[in-house]
Amino acid sequence: MGNDDHRRRKTPCGFCMAVFKWIPVVFITAVIAWSYYAYVVELCIRNSENLVGMILMLFFYHIALILFMWSYWRTIMTSVGRVPDQWRIPDEEVTRLFRADNPETQKRILNSFARSLPVTNRTMNGSVRFCEKCKIIKPDRAHHCSVCNSCVLKMDHHCPWVNNCVNFYNYKFFVLFLGYALIYCLYVAFTTLHDFVQFWKGQLNGSGVGRFHILFLFFISIMFAISLVSLFGYHIYLVLVNRTTLESFRAPVFRVGGPDKNGFNLGRYANFCEVFGDDWQYWPLPIFTSFGDGISYPIRHLEDDSETLLGYHSDTRIELDEDCLPESRFLHSIP
């Protein structure tokens, strides 16, 4: 898993694509760097006449900026992780699997590996999920990302703005990133509102270029805030119902109960703690505190499933193309 991606990066085309995927991150970083100059230099240092007010503005501004950038960086740099080796089928068995001339043979091969694995998710026809690209049995809530070229644990979606998959290991960071980005934009908008009004009245002090920096800072902060408020609200909702973006569009299928969007819903507080942990002191910090291992998850109807491990009575078959699609097509993927 990941070897094909490594080989692609060695080619000139693969290297160019790897660089191209960082463009959105560079763009966001450049906007933040410009906003820092416009706010700190043009608004506070060159335009403020109240020293105490300027210090307070800069103090709260830097707190919001540090939390924002810290969360953003953790979201970008956190690895998608890897599926443990016991979920991988050896190459010789994969060859037998693909050469099998009937579903029953395929079923026996897969069951010999999946019977001891804690999988409760199924396909629409009740079979165990198998990734032919990574050659693994997929853990619950895991999906194959064509951009990352690997199976991602508790995959939410692939986000080009962080050049990473939002997954089990960085989902808390991603939600905090959205929240702090919204706070940052709202803080900048509210603290530049007075100067924006003064600009339209023609009473704003400073040079012509500096005044336009403040004007654009207000507009851009409002524009980003409008975009972020709906996205942040949506992911807070997903946290509270214990659902990923993929699962919100295509309900996960369980061995007991069939398709159920609320299959992982344990109650709002328990759902929140599954992502943010149970120590409130760490909730606002981009420090990993999520519960679990990313492989198995408590489910709402677990008590109804007397066999949480895969048995030989399951209907198993190969899924060749499941979830092997890029983000732009994930609505049509099959979890």
Q: Hey, which residues are catalytic here? A: 159
Tokens 């709002």, located at residue: 268
Cα–Cα distance measured from residue 147 to residue 64, given in angstroms and rounded to the nearest whole number = 31
Instruction: Output the DSSP codes for 160-191.
Output: TTTTEEE-TTTHHHHHHHHHHHHHHHHHHHHH
By CB atoms closer than 10 A (0-12, 13-18, 19+), residue 213 is buried
Contact between residue 5 and residue 140 where contact means Cβ atoms under 8 Å apart: no
Q: For residue 71, give both structure tokens.
A: 């969360």
Q: Which helix (H) or strand (E) holds 100?
A: none
Q: Rounded to whole angstroms, how far apart are CA atoms 32 and 26? A: 10
CB 133 within 8 A of CB 324: yes
Nearest in space to 28 (alpha carbons), one of 155, 159, 121, 127? 159
* C-beta separation of 51 from 264 below 8 A: no
CA angle 268, 272, 276 (to 5 degrees): 170
Indicate the angle between helix axes 208-241 and 23-36, nearest 10 degrees: 130
Write the CA distances from 69 to 75, 219, 286, integer angstroms. 10, 21, 10
Query: Whole-angstrom Cα distance, residue 247 to residue 260?
Result: 9
